[in-house]
Amino acid sequence: MTDGTKPSAPAVEARDISLRRGGRTIVAGVTFAVNPGDLYLLHGPNGSGKTTLLRALAGFSRPACGSLKRAVGRTILLGYADAVKAAFTAKENIDFWGALYGAAPATVERAISQLRIFPFLNQRTGTLSSGQRRRLALCRVVISRRPIWLLDEPTAGMDAASVAAAVDLIAGHCRSGGSAVVATHEALPFAGARTITLADAA
């Protein structure tokens, strides 16, 4: 999934970055690197800056201090919101994402089967449960074929079976050379994952 870069160069590298939100510095002194195959779990209480950090990694904002090197166009963010159009069916949302990211039909098919979208494929997403919508939102991440996944509470609202499927999906992605940073409140059973914990300086 990586191409052209030296195998040792991390895809995303943060050095002592500080992030501001709403006029105050919300996170400071964060240093880590995301290499192919890395899986990070991002923990922290509400308001500690998990979402802000993910969005900075995704390129939505620049750090106030420090250096953040990121490979442009190689990250994909699954935010808190599903970014799913209620008036469309699941299939229509998926088709749009396929066109948006220029994905081959095979990729789209694979995403649909990996996330078991088929049961509600032609249903209007306005009528889906929150867990089903979250699975659909994860579909977009797979369709984009981008190597670095930045996921903000990817399993919100999902039942146990869906959570297990999501965990398998993310773990499999990292095993085949991709990487992921997953912000979550839940105890997700990822083997060998590293953790980033955001906490108030005592």
Partner 1 sequence: MLAIFERDIALAFRAGGGAINSVVFLALTVLIFALAVGPDRARLAASAAPILWTAATLAAMLSFDSIFQADFEDGSLDVLAEATESLGFVAVSKAAAHWVSALLPLILATPPLAVLLGLPAAAYFPLVISLAVATPALSLLGVLASALALSLRRASILMTILTAPLLTPAVIFGVAAANAGAENSPLFGPLLMLLAAFTLLFLIAMPLAAGAALRFNID
Partner 2 sequence: MAFDLANPQRFEKLAARLVPLLTIASGVTALFGLYMALFDSPADYQQGDSVRIMYVHVPAAWMALLCYSTMAIASAIGFIFKHPLADVAAKSAAPIGAAFTFLALVTGSLWGKPMWGTWWAWDARLTSVLILFFLYIGYIALWNAIDDKIRAARLAAIVCLVGFINIPIIKFSVDWWNSLHQPASVLRAGGPTIHGSMLTPLILMGAAYALGFAALLLVSMRGELAERRIARLEQTARAPSRATVA
Instruction: Please report, as ranges, the residues that interact with partner 1 according to CB under 8 A.
Output: 55, 58-61, 72-73, 75-77, 79-88, 92, 96, 99-101, 140, 144
Min separation Cβ 42 and partner 2, Å: 9
Q: How many CB atoms lie within 10 A of CB 86?
A: 12
Q: How many CB atoms lie within 10 A of CB 154?
A: 25
Closest CA to 121 of 84, 90, 95, 93: 90
Matching residue, tokens 């500690």 = 48
Min separation Cβ 120 and partner 2, Å: 38
Residue 195 site contact among partner 1, partner 2, none (CB < 5 to 8 Å, cut-off depends on kind): partner 2
Cβ proximity to partner 1: between 27 and 76 the closer is 76
What is the Cα–Cα distance from 165 to 119, expressed in whole angstroms?
15
Min separation Cβ 134 and partner 1, Å: 12
Q: Are the CB atoms for 157 and 126 separated by under 8 Å?
A: no
Judge residue 176's burial from the number of C-beta atoms within 10 Å of its C-beta, 0-12 exposed, 13-18 middle, 19 or more buried: exposed
Cβ proximity to partner 2: between 116 and 194 the closer is 194
Min separation Cβ 188 and partner 1, Å: 22
Interface residues with partner 2 (CB under 8 A) are 18, 22-32, 44, 48-49, 64-65, 194-201
Residue 201 site contact among partner 1, partner 2, none (CB < 5 to 8 Å, cut-off depends on kind): partner 2
